Amino acid sequence: MNRRLCLALLLLPCADLLADTRDQALKLSDVVISANRQVQARNDSSAANTVFTRADIDRLQPTSVTDLLSRVPGVQVAPTGGRGSLPGIFIRGTKAAQSLVLVDGQRIANTTTGDSGLQYLNVDQIERVEVLRGSRSVIYGSDAIGGVIQIFTRRDAEQGLQPRMKLGFSSNQTWERSLGLSGGDEHTRFNLGASLDETAGINSSHASFPSDGDHDAYRNQSISLNLSHSFSDELEVGFNLLDNRGKSEYDNSFGRYDSITGQSVGQKPYTDYTVSSASGYVDAKLSENWQSRLELGHSENRDTKRDTLSDDFSAFNTYRDSVNWQNDLTLNEQNNLIVGGDWYEDRFHGSTTFTENSRWNRAAFVQHRFHSEWFSTELGLRRDQNQQFGGQNSWSGTLTVPVNPDNDLLLSYSEGFRAPTFNDLYYPLTQYSNPDLQPETSKSYELQWRSQLTDSTRLEASLYRTDLSDAIILDAGKPQNVASARINGLEAGLKQELFGWQGNLGLSIIDPRDRESGHTLARRARRTLNLDLDRQFDEVGIGASWQAISSSYDDEANRDRMGGYALLGLRSSWAMNREVSLSLKVDNVLDKSYARAKYSYLDESQNYREEGRVWMFGVTWTPEI
């Protein structure tokens, strides 16, 4: 059914892909939207990509967005504790701030630190996750060096009203509750959802002050709203909203300084957070060969840190307004053109007074695609003009050669850049900031092989190299453009269906090195392997996940080694009837002890704790109206 629907969508002219087909495309695993901000077949995209639909999310039963991302070849996740803890997201060996995170097309990263708050996004409010590996700066500009993660909020392409309710209970006194209602007709569609997750958590630190010996609780309240209306076959408007807010406790191994006693004392710190995104769009078919889409967006990333044992307080709140205008032009059967422009402004308000509290960025981009029976090309150019560092050009090019109907080879080159954060540039203490910083830049070279080996076997492999220049590091506490890195990598994804079992295997081998020291970049494992196996027996589904990660170093000097590990997870589901289904999963079945990040306490390195064996039981009710 999905393949037939996918074929029907892709046979339509590009200009006809308005919301009716766009909402249906969000259900499909054979299309991708993020690569060029338009619906296209995954195999037609020049970007190495991985797609998770809502059906995949329900089948895999991930605890969080980061849990889902850890299944992607070339993506590594290094959290600093249990639920709600700060994760490091490394796409193809690049750091978290060097990858762009979008929610319904809107940037959500905190402009002070570059972190996107992915740990705070509730997976029940998500319809689809797309991960692009490799630079996409021509389309998206700053931050898209390692890749792009785009999250689409929950929605439904069906007509009529469809309510849903889910209740889950898990280890560590964890509760998950969510409600939703979707519906519409041939012209108007909507989806409204709300979730509340709570957990007592775990004690993330092994050794710390006695005040940090408690469990680190986490609470998340989230709502999502999607509304679209088609005035005609040529014009549609819509609105998207996702809001996540709550409280996350954490351990501070450094404690705080007591001005009276002159000694360091313990803390019980926590964060009040908000990560939200809202956008509106107008999608219009201006002519037979011209489709235009205008988007206006606003996002907020608010972070307030407090301490139960003292009056300590700090607030770092960032806000972003944005406008994107893209035009997709079909010149003829072989030539297509994308022409567009971006503008956004970042603002900061908080307890610290920065030397500057706002900056704007505007850009124009163009991308041409040629397609013939013998080969295809894609050439792109983007020009960014930034209030702080001036202009930046980005180029990209891809040559696709279809060796035969079942095998394609792609050779590509792409450039990327990342603008310095507000902390890097405008922090009030000059020993900790540098207003003369320039953007980090990258050059990437990639060879892809995509093969439909058999009707039930699909292989996608990439061999790539990324050179990073002017990378920003702290030199005696002051950020400087002094580092450079070289990342070589091989990644492969294999999909196989055999005897009713659906298998997904992901492999990644990387060599990420600092050019000057020759050391491996911190918290990057050289080898990762992920395997998911699932089978459906009528109303009962069973599945298993296995993840193997090699050793890595927690520090840039490669002195603090973290051992490799392997984790096994099991899951099952049972559709009792058309309205009620049950789910049960057990993660870390073998109760392995492992570490993905470390912290320092009394000048000694300690592992952040990870959850041991945990289980989750859930009930989902979708009554028919």
Q: Which domain holds residue 237?
A: 2-621
How far is the C-alpha of 142 from the C-alpha of 121, rounded, in Å? 22
Beta 614-621 vs 580-587: how paired, if at all?
A: antiparallel
86 and 80 in contact (C-beta within 8 Å)?
Answer: yes
Asked if residue 117 has pLDDT above 60, the reply is: yes
How far apart are the C-alpha atoms of 379 and 365, rounded to whole Å? 11
For residue 189, the model assigns a pLDDT of 92
Report, in angstroms and rounded to the nearest whole number, the Rg of the chain calculated over CA atoms.
24
**Highest mean pLDDT: which range of 159-163, 280-284, 480-484:** 280-284
For 396-434, write each residue's pLDDT tens digit.
Answer: 999 999 999 999 999 999 999 999 999 999 998 888 899
∠ CA 82-83-84, nearest 5°, is 115
Question: Cα(597)–Cα(134) distance, rounded to whole angstroms?
Answer: 25
Residue partners of 475: CB distance under 8 A and separation at least 6: 482
C-beta atoms surrounding 403 within 10 Å: 11
* Nearest C-alpha neighbor of 305 from the set 275, 269, 351: 269
How does pLDDT run across 367-404, given as a tens digit for each residue? 999 999 999 999 999 999 999 888 999 999 999 999 99
Residue 31, pLDDT > 70, answer yes
Return d(Cα 395, Cα 377) in angstroms, integer: 14
Q: Which CATH number covers residue 123?
A: 2.40.170.20
Q: Compute CA 25 distance to the chain's CA centroid, rounded to the nearest angstrom.
A: 19
Where does the pLDDT of residue 7 fall: very low under 50, low under 70, confident under 90, or very high at 90 and above?
Answer: very low
pLDDT digits (tens, 9 = 90+) for 287-305: 999 999 999 999 999 999 9
**What mean pLDDT is reported for the chain?**
92
* Strand pairing category for 540-549 and 527-537: antiparallel
Structural domain count of the chain: 1
Give the mean model confidence (pLDDT) for residues 595-614.
86
Could you tell me the sign of the dihedral formed by the alpha carbons of 229, 150, 80, 304, in that order? negative
**What is the SS3 assignment for 220?**
strand
Q: How far apart are CA 459 and CA 454, in angstroms?
A: 10
Distance CA 462, CA 125 (A): 32
Nearest-angstrom CA–CA distance, 18 and 286: 12
CA distance 570 to 583: 11
pLDDT given at position 211:
74
- pLDDT of 554-599, one tens digit each? 999 999 999 999 999 999 999 999 999 999 999 999 999 998 998 8
Q: To which residue do tokens 């909203």 refer?
A: 241
Whether residue 322 is predicted with pLDDT greater than 70 in this model: the reply is yes
What pLDDT does 3 receive? 45
- What are the distances in angstroms from CA 615 to CA 114, 176, 531, 588, 611? 33, 13, 20, 9, 11
Burial string for 122-144 (b: 16+ CB within 10 Å, else e) reads bbbbbbbbbbbbbbbbbbbbbbb
Query: Using one digit for the tens of pLDDT, what is the confidence trace for 153-179?
Result: 998 767 889 999 999 999 999 999 999
- The residue assigned the tokens 């077949």 is 41
- C-alpha span between 536 and 575 (Å, rounded): 11
pLDDT at 21: 62
End-to-end C-alpha distance for the chain, whole angstroms: 24
CA distance 535 to 417: 43
- Mean pLDDT lowest among 172-186, 201-215, 252-266: 252-266
The number of beta carbons lying within 10 Å of the beta carbon of residue 38 is: 18
CB 111 within 8 A of CB 358: no
Q: How confident is the model at residue 259 (pLDDT cuts 50, 70, 90)?
A: low
In the chain, the amino acid numbered 50 is T
Q: Which residue has the tokens 């397609």?
A: 371
Is the predicted pLDDT of residue 2 greater than 60, yes or no? no
The more confidently predicted of residues 36 and 13 is 36
